[in-house]
């Protein structure tokens, strides 16, 4: 396949076996001496300007940061410059950037060609007029060129909004009520989708505070990579208003943190057809990252609707949209369709010329530069190097990747599973283990701090996105820095182990 970023597909059973071992033993993390004398010292001595910003921020911003991903232990760093594979903080320290803005910038951060097009556009017409701009057509046509299943595309303001829109469409199209998501998956922060976040089987118990239970009354979750449970849920829903849609990330929940079998998506497609539900692929992370044709191209499965985010604005704001089969996408038609029975969507600044042109230019550049394949190759190199280090230092950590999405699980904080059709069973089990999960999460963030102090930015200490800007030299330098951290990792006696559930 042309410009494909995935060169191999690991057996999920093998990865899960390793994750099971990881969570069944005590936590391993950088020892206290290293953490205080090196990590904390680095932040206090070398990052004073960031610390000043953060200290004042706490007065004006809840939690001191505006973005969930920006909080890093022991305090967030304030970034002032971004260039390709690197970030620079306010004190001038340089970092290898494996966050890549949370995934959208597969071309490397602050990619010049996109930037230049945007500057031209700003000089011409500014970021937004509220009226039709040709860039809206250009991006829709460009997406269709690479993903023919996306016959039509509506640009919205974010992935969260796109998911909300798709669920509305699915309910109108099928006349059914329930939506099934895969446990642990993130599909944005709308009321119905915060259900079952992060940990499969967690339902409303972890993050749904402030959301009335009626909002997720028709949301169900099933165990990742489990077609039997999905079918049982589809059967059950037949008696309760039917299933309008199954929504999933095609590489597995949380960008593949929970690995799936290669044939899983085909199985879901068959079940959706059998039970009359739409299949929605959330390609917010995978679209134009794992392949030009997205994960749907890689798995050769045609979804009814596709959710886009991140990359469709090329790393610029207002990134999101829904595309798919004409008959469904037409259900949210604007303009001429006003007054008809339709899924209402909107957003004052959505689909502005800036985000459309940035997305269009970025997709063209990803194609021209073969970015998916190159970033994928660098992901393989990083993952292989991490595996070699893990073996050499005798650590229980687990590294695996889906091309340019690399996972480094040091504590297994995300690896629990409380999925069960029986609510009481899941809830009791989760409540019993909740503090241990948080302890592991805390330890994962401590590892993240150690990476940061060694000049590596990760997503929460456990996920790494590679980009076109990563050369073999950048990856090898990153591996040297990981080695420096791994040399100081010890088993922490007394830090609780959990039996994998
Ligand atoms: C798979 C997936 N779906 C949806 C979203 C939500 O997108 P946004 O942050 O643009 O609302 C995200 C964001 O990270 C995501 O990773």
Q: What is the pLDDT of residue 1?
A: 83
User: Global pTM?
Assistant: 0.97
Nearest to 106 by CA among 344, 243, 290: 290
Is the CB–ligand 1 distance for residue 259 below 6 Å? no
Q: Is 304 exposed, middle or buried (0-12, 13-18, 19+ CB in 10 A)?
A: buried
pLDDT at position 341: 82
pLDDT value at position 334? 78
CB 178 within 8 A of CB 243: yes
Pairing of strands 320-324, 305-309: antiparallel
- Residue-level pLDDT, tens digit, the chain, 501 residues: 889 999 999 999 999 999 999 998 999 999 999 999 999 999 999 999 999 999 999 999 999 999 988 878 999 999 999 999 999 999 999 999 999 999 999 999 999 999 999 999 999 999 999 999 999 999 999 999 999 999 999 999 999 999 999 999 999 999 999 999 999 999 999 999 999 999 999 999 988 999 999 999 999 999 999 999 999 999 999 999 999 999 999 999 999 999 999 999 999 999 999 999 999 999 999 999 999 999 999 999 999 999 999 999 999 999 999 999 999 999 998 776 667 788 999 999 999 999 999 999 999 999 999 999 999 999 999 999 999 999 999 999 999 999 999 999 999 988 889 998 888 988 898 888 888 888 999 999 999 999 999 999 999 999 999 999 999 999 999 999 999 999 999 998 776 655 454
For ligand 1, whether the C-beta of 363 sits within 6 Å is no
pLDDT score, position 228: 98
309 lines ligand 1 (CB under 6 A): yes
Whose tokens are 């970030």? That residue is: 87
How do residues 484-497 score in pLDDT, each as one tens digit? 999 999 998 776 65
CA-nearest of 477, 441, 428, 465 to 203 is 428
Question: For residue 163, which atom of ligand 1 is closest to its CA?
Answer: 4
Is residue 149 in contact with ligand 1, taking CB distance under 6 Å?
no
Is 392 exposed, middle or buried (CB count within 10 Å of its CB: 0-12, 13-18, 19+)? exposed
CA of 178 to the centre of ligand 1 (A): 21
Q: What is the pLDDT of residue 421?
A: 86
Q: Does the C-beta of 187 come closer than 6 Å to ligand 1?
A: yes
Q: What is the signed CA dihedral for 258, 260, 264, 268, rounded to 10 degrees?
A: 0
Instruction: Give distance in angstroms: CA of 386 to centre of ligand 1.
Output: 27
Atom 3 in ligand 1: which residue has the minimum CA distance?
187
- Phi, psi angles (nearest 5°) of residue 182: -95, 130
Q: What is the pLDDT of residues 438-492, one digit of tens each?
A: 899 999 999 999 999 999 999 999 999 999 999 999 999 999 999 999 999 999 8
Residue 76's pLDDT is: 96
463 C-alpha to center of ligand 1: Å? 15
The pLDDT assigned to 376 comes to 98
Instruction: Give the residue from 99, 97, 103 showing the smallest Cα distance to 285.
Output: 103
Q: What is the predicted pLDDT for the residue at 70?
A: 86
Q: Compute and round to an integer the Cα radius of gyration of the chain.
A: 22
How much distance in Å is there from the Cα of 16 to the middle of ligand 1? 24
Nearest residue to 173 (alpha-carbon basis) of 343, 310, 340: 343
Q: Where are the strands (E) in 239-291, listed by range? A: 243-248, 278-282
Compute the distance from residue 191 Cα to the ligand 1 centre, in Å: 14
In the reported structure, the alpha carbon of residue 41 is separated from the centroid of ligand 1 by a whole-number distance in angstroms of 34
Q: Mind listing the domains of the chain with CATH numbers?
A: 12-109+370-491 (3.90.1150.10), 135-351 (3.40.640.10)
68 Cα to the center of ligand 1, angstroms: 12
Least Cα distance to 381 among 477, 258, 251 occurs for 477
**Residue whose tokens read 């309008």:** 244
Strand positions, DSSP E, 210-324: 219-222, 243-248, 278-282, 305-309, 320-324
| Count of Cβ atoms closer than 10 Å to residue 61 Cβ | 12
What integer pLDDT is reported at residue 333 of this predicted model?
A: 84
Which residue, judged by its Cα, is nearest atom 7 of ligand 1? Answer: 159
Cβ 320 under 6 angstroms from ligand 1: yes
Separation of alpha carbons 454 and 389, rounded Å: 16
pLDDT at 414: 83
Torsional sign, CA 208, 167, 162, 105: positive
| The pLDDT of residue 28 | 95
Q: Which pLDDT belongs to residue 496?
A: 60
Atom 4 of ligand 1, residue of closest alpha carbon: 187
């Amino acid at each position: 396949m042309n410009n494909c970023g995935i060169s191999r597909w690991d057996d999920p059973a093998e990865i899960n076996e390793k994750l099971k071992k990881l969570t069944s033993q005590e936590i391993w993390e950088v020892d206290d001496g290293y953490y205080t004398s090196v990590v904390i010292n680095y932040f206090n001595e070398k990052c004073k300007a960031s610390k000043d910003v953060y200290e004042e921020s706490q007065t004006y911003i809840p939690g001191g940061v505006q973005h969930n991903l920006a909080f890093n232990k022991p305090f967030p760093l304030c970034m002032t410059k971004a260039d390709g594979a690197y970030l620079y903080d306010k004190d001038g320290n340089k970092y290898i950037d494996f966050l890549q803005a949370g995934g959208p910038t597969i071309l490397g951060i602050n990619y010049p060609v996109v930037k230049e097009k945007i500057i031209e556009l700003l000089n011409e017409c500014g970021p937004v007029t509220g009226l039709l701009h040709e860039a809206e057509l250009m991006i829709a046509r460009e997406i269709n060129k690479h993903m023919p299943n996306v016959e039509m595309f509506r640009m919205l303001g974010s992935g969260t909004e796109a998911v909300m829109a798709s669920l509305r469409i699915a309910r109108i199209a099928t006349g059914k009520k329930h939506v099934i998501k895969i446990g642990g998956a993130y599909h944005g922060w709308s009321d119905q989708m915060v259900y079952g976040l992060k940990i499969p089987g967690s339902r409303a118990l972890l993050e749904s505070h402030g959301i009335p239970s009626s909002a997720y009354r028709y949301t169900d979750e099933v165990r990742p990579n489990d077609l039997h449970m999905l079918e049982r849920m589809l059967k059950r829903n037949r008696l309760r208003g039917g299933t309008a849609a199954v929504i999933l990330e095609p590489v597995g929940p949380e960008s593949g943190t929970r690995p799936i079998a290669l044939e899983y998506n085909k199985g879901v497609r068959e079940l959706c057809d059998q039970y009359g539900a739409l299949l929605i692929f959330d390609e917010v992370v995978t679209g134009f990252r794992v392949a030009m044709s997205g994960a749907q191209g890689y798995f050769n499965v045609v979804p009814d609707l596709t959710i886009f985010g991140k990359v469709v604005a090329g790393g610029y704001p207002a990134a999101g949209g829904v595309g798919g089969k004409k008959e469904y996408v037409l259900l949210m038609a604007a303009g001429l369709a006003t007054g008809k029975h339709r899924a209402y969507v909107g957003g004052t600044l959505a689909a502005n010329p800036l985000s459309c042109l940035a997305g269009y230019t970025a997709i063209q550049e990803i194609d021209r530069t073969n970015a998916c394949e190159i970033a994928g190759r660098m992901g393989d190199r990083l993952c292989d190097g991490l595996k070699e280090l893990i073996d050499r230092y005798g650590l229980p950590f687990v590294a695996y990747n889906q091309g340019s999405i690399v996972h480094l699980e040091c504590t297994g904080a995300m690896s629990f599973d409380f999925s069960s059709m029986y609510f009481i069973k899941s809830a009791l089990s989760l409540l019993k283990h909740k503090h241990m999960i948080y302890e592991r999460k805390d330890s994962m963030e401590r590892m993240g701090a150690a990476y940061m102090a060694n000049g590596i930015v990760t997503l929460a200490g456990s996920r790494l996105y590679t980009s076109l800007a990563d050369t073999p030299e950048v990856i090898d330098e990153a591996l040297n820095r990981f080695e420096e951290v791994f040399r100081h990792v010890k088993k922490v006696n007394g830090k609780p182990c959990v039996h994998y559930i």
